[in-house]
Structure 1
Amino acid sequence: MKFIRGFKNMFSDAIYTILLVAIAVFSLINALGNTSDLMPFLAMFVPLLLILISAVGLQLKGKTLAAHLVLLLTVFLGAGRTFIYAITSFSFESMSFTANFSVEMLIAFIIFVYLFLVVASYLLVGNTGAHLGKSQVLISATIAFVYFFFRDGFSVAVLKILPPLVALMFGSDFFAIVLLLAGVADVPFLLLDYIFLATIFEQPVSYFLFTAFGLYLIYGAIIALLKRPK
């Protein structure tokens, strides 16, 4: 426990920034080979890029806890579960692991542990400086939560809205908006994919309603970003 509490003091702000940038680069490189189709790739890559920009931006503003927590919640939350599942997938019948191991999986797990230790260290010590004050972005976040809830369900809505709330709690409305934008940035690319595949008219009415509102949220987020200083 003492090790975890003191973990946040192991590195300087400069080292934290270098580590965050390195993690961002790894995440981008790791995402490049996920799909060969352009629109699905952009639907995955653009939100990821916005998340990484937000995390690095928060770190550059001295919000180390917020930066690491955003990355943990958005990009590496599943890395721990994936690795634990892999190492516990040993089958005595075949005397082998049923899961496929990879270097990327190991690196992602190491990053997960690092992010978890940083976040846990700050939380155990206390005095995180987090405070959710009044903000117009909070209203937008509430609207976005309702949108995600009806489109994807409660659990997805919570995971989508937590990162913007983290940014808000650390006084960064700008990056909160960027993270809200990341939650819907896939909408236009998936729409274009359906159009190019000529399957757009096979989609239900609900898809058009959610897509239209998603595009509206994107428009609102971009306008808000253009009007706000970083």
Structure 2
Amino acid sequence: MKGKAWFVSGLWIAALLWLTACKATSSTSARYIDSVPPRYEVSCPAGEVCSESVALLVGLSAPREPTRCTAALVGPRTAVTAGHCVAWELVNGGRCDGLWLGFAQSDRRPAEWIGCARIESASTPSPSLLSPDYAVLKLSRDASRAAIPIGEGDVPSGEVVRVLSVTADRFYDEVHQVRSRRCIVDDNRRLVSAGELPSSWIRVLSSCPIRQGSSGAPVLDRRGRLRGLVHAAGPPYFAFGLMTLLPQPVDRDDG
């Protein structure tokens, strides 16, 4: 029985190592990244009502291809994303003038791109996928849309949550859409090695296929409050991912 448990844990870890939920993704044409702001298209799927508070995060400072992740607006000038999405900026002194957030048009707001002014705070980089992975960004100006409220307290196992992500179209790489999916929260006990304690920062998202580009995607509870950020995932056929619980309080400066 113990051998079987180790085998299952090994599969989980191998699956997570297969894919982090945000990699530098290549563009089919340089014309979409050779301008500021980037000329990627961000939209809502036809016939759907999607959140106006999530954005495509594009990092033009990456050494090869632009980094593309998801970010969430939590204040007029404050956004959060996964820490590894801004790893290049952190290594280079925290400058984020190459980071842009693209918001889709909604019923109330036009589409808009907003630049990053600075990285307010970030988790300590770690090779472990069971370590916190987040960054707080100060934007260059106020966003003309509502922020996602932040929830407090624990996120219990078995709770149904909603993940909001902005990912590239499967056929047209320059086109991105805001997507929503429901997932189930679980603890990370099956992922830790023998003798280790489960991380209190990390939760597993099961029944939850996550695509590349979803790193930084906000995880909302039943009341629409932000509880965490997606930072890693297994291959689609494993249908699970990892989320970092949002630090409390978030370092916001929206004055």
TM norm. shorter chain > 0.5: no
Answer 1 or 2: which has greater helix percent. Answer: 1
TM-score (norm 1): 0.27
TM-score (norm 2): 0.25
Answer 1 or 2: which has greater strand percent. Answer: 2
